[in-house]
Amino acid sequence: MEPKPGTALTVAMVALTLTTGMVEAVSFLALGPVFTAVQTGNTLFLGFAVAGAGGFAVAGAGGLSVVASLVSLGGFAVGAVLGARFESIVDLRGRRWFVGALCAEAALLGVAGAVAWQIQRPDEPLTIRHYAVTALVALAMGMRNVTTMRAKVPDVPTTVVTRTMTALLGGSPLGLDTRIPMGARNELRRTAAVAAMFAGGLLGAWLLFESVRPPVVLLATAAIVVAVALGYALTPGRGVSETRAAH
């Protein structure tokens, strides 16, 4: 059963957007450079690396890595498939898949943090451990993308903000696009999503630059996702829609 649209779901999605910024700070600054949620950028990185822009770097924080990009893409693909199957099965059984999906994502991020425990600094040369962590985080983000597509909160996909920024500007008094819904509520939601992505990236990078170890940032991110799941589950009157996502 679908989560009920409303303020509680929107707040949850904005909070998840913040965690994407934190995850990508770890991914880009400590595991690559590579993305694990924003696969558009990661696909471009792979193209640049194959073309030789990164010297076909297999290890090292200074260049683009074909291996890291492939591992991220593979992990994301597996996560999207498993997420779709898991959430569809739970949904078809008439159960509430949203909170369960967030808990599964948090568990994956927690495992990634545990696997990353030996990673001390963001500038370490890439190793098998780095690639394993990249795969696990990308797996979680693949599942996250399925979750956010099914939740259907307008302008808050949680892992990208390009379309959100376009809607924010196009639907503003400057753009006045007749096909983009306008109004204070829409503008507030879009602004919050963009601000959350920026804040998450800022927070994640600041923690790393302040010598907080990458695995600690991942575990903190997992804790926030759990908090979002619990907060949404315990919100009074949130309810669910009886309309199934499959329909």
**Which contiguous run of DSSP H or E holds residue 97?**
helix 97-115
Note the pLDDT of residue 243. Answer: 36
In a domain, 51, yes or no: yes
Q: What is the pLDDT of residues 169-188, one digit of tens each?
A: 998 888 888 888 888 889 99
pLDDT of residue 47 exceeding 90, the answer is no
Strands 2-3 and 240-241: antiparallel
Cβ pair 18, 193 in contact under 8 A: no
Site of tokens 């302008």: 155
In a domain, 76, yes or no: yes
Cβ pair 246, 91 in contact under 8 A: yes
pLDDT of residue 151 exceeding 60, the answer is yes
In a domain, 118, yes or no: yes
Q: Which residue has the higher pLDDT, 148 or 3?
A: 148
**Which contiguous run of DSSP H or E holds residue 205?**
helix 184-209
In a domain, 245, yes or no: no
| CA 54 to the chain's CA centroid | 25
The partner residues of 55 in beta bridges, in order of sequence, read none
pLDDT of residue 199 exceeding 50, the answer is yes
In a domain, 195, yes or no: yes
Helix and strand element counts for the chain (H, E):
8, 2
Note the pLDDT of residue 144. Answer: 97
If 0-12 CB within 10 Å is exposed, 13-18 middle and 19+ buried, where does residue 189 land?
buried
Q: Which domain holds residue 65?
A: 2-235
The Cβ of residue 78 has, within 10 Å, a number of other Cβ atoms equal to 15
In a domain, 247, yes or no: no
pLDDT confidence of 20, banded at 50, 70, 90? very high
| Cβ burial 83-111 (10 Å sphere, 16+ → b, else e) | bbebbbebbeeeebbbbbbbebbbebbbb
Note the pLDDT of residue 46. Answer: 86
For the chain, what is the domain count? 1
Note the pLDDT of residue 52. Answer: 74
Which two three-digit tokens encode residue 112?
């990634």
Q: What is the pTM of this model?
A: 0.89
| CA 13 to the chain's CA centroid | 10
In a domain, 244, yes or no: no
> CATH number of the domain that 94 lies in?
1.20.1250
> How far, in Å, CA of 200 to CA of 192, rounded?
12
Which two three-digit tokens encode residue 213?
């170890």
Q: What is the pLDDT of residues 135-145, one digit of tens each?
A: 999 999 999 99
In a domain, 240, yes or no: no
pLDDT of residue 124 exceeding 80, the answer is yes
CA distances from residue 111 to 25, 77, 134 in whole angstroms, order as listed: 18, 18, 11
